[in-house]
Amino acid sequence: MKPSTLIVPTLNEAENIKRLIPLLSRLYPKLYILIVDDGSRDGTLEAVKRLAKQYERLSFIDRKNAKCKGLSISVLAGLKQVKTPNFAVMDADFQHPPEKLGELLNALEYHDLAIGTRSATPGWKFSRKWISKIANLAASLRLKLSGNPYVKDPMSGFFAARLSVVKALLSKNPRGFKILFDILKRLPKSTKVVQIGFVFALRKAGKSKLSVNQCKAFLKALFS
């Protein structure tokens, strides 16, 4: 596995982050971890700062004073700080299994982009499943019409990639809720993509960040 940086966007994930950082550091001792906090009010950043004294490969970005907030732009802020050849993105709430991260990063030996696709979503309400299904269908159709590679779960927030492949995105401003979709829209057709299934777990703590504004952002991204 080449040197890699994991970007973890956070917003009020204090209880999760206290468990996630020690686990990731134990599973992947050579992994650089970058927390990008979007103005948490529950002590998330304070917890990260304490952990950073213990884990030397842990760093953070404080975006509490940023004019524009959101999941995609937080990941973009993290991407601008990445110095390693490869990077990955995952949530802090344990819905993305940390044990699968290594599989995504290892896949970059032969691929440019490795996407964690949700093979099952146990515990989701019927309405939440349909919202996700409709969003994925709309995103997949948008990609197909543009001639981009077919992806089963283009709205996934769990993926890894070679930094060189997405550098062009750094000069653009993602408009959507999921940065992977913005990346997929701009990828060259020759990009080697692999999809790795995982079970999307229920979050351990905190609340979902899905909102009306984020749905509006996704609709804008469909037509951009």
CATH classification of the domain holding 103: 3.90.550.10
**What element of type H or E holds 159?**
strand 159-162
Of the listed ranges 91-95, 109-113, 203-207, the least confidently predicted one is: 203-207
Give me the pLDDT at residue 123, please.
60
Give me the pLDDT at residue 219, please.
46
CA dist 177 and 179 (Å) reads 6
Give the residue numbers spanning the domain of 212.
4-222
CA dist 77 and 200 (Å) reads 25
Residues across the chain: 224
Give me the pLDDT at residue 175, please.
57
Give me the pLDDT at residue 221, please.
55
Whether the Cβ atoms of residue 143 and residue 38 lie closer than 8 Å to each other: no
CA dist 173 and 6 (Å) reads 21
pTM attached to this predicted model: 0.86
Q: In terms of pLDDT, which residue wins out, 106 or 208?
A: 106
Instruction: Please state at what angle helix 179-186 crosses helix 212-222, rounded to 10 degrees.
Output: 0
CA dist 61 and 48 (Å) reads 10
Q: What is the mean pLDDT of residues 23-35?
A: 98
Residue-wise pLDDT tens digits, 136-195: 777 778 787 777 777 889 989 999 999 999 887 666 665 556 889 888 888 888 899 999
Task: Supply 43's token pair.
Answer: 């002590």
Q: What is the mean pLDDT of residues 203-222?
A: 54
Question: Which residues, other chains included, contact 90 with Cβ-Cβ below 8 Å and sequence gap of 6+?
Answer: 6, 7, 8, 96, 98, 101, 116, 157, 158
Whether the Cβ atoms of residue 33 and residue 48 lie closer than 8 Å to each other: no
pLDDT category, 203, cuts 50, 70, 90?
A: low
Q: Tell me the pLDDT of the chain averaged across its residues.
A: 85
pLDDT category, 222, cuts 50, 70, 90?
A: low
Whether the Cβ atoms of residue 60 and residue 31 lie closer than 8 Å to each other: no
pLDDT category, 205, cuts 50, 70, 90?
A: low
pLDDT category, 200, cuts 50, 70, 90?
A: confident
Q: Number of structural domains, the chain?
A: 1
Burial class (CB in 10 A: 0-12, 13-18, 19+), 67: exposed
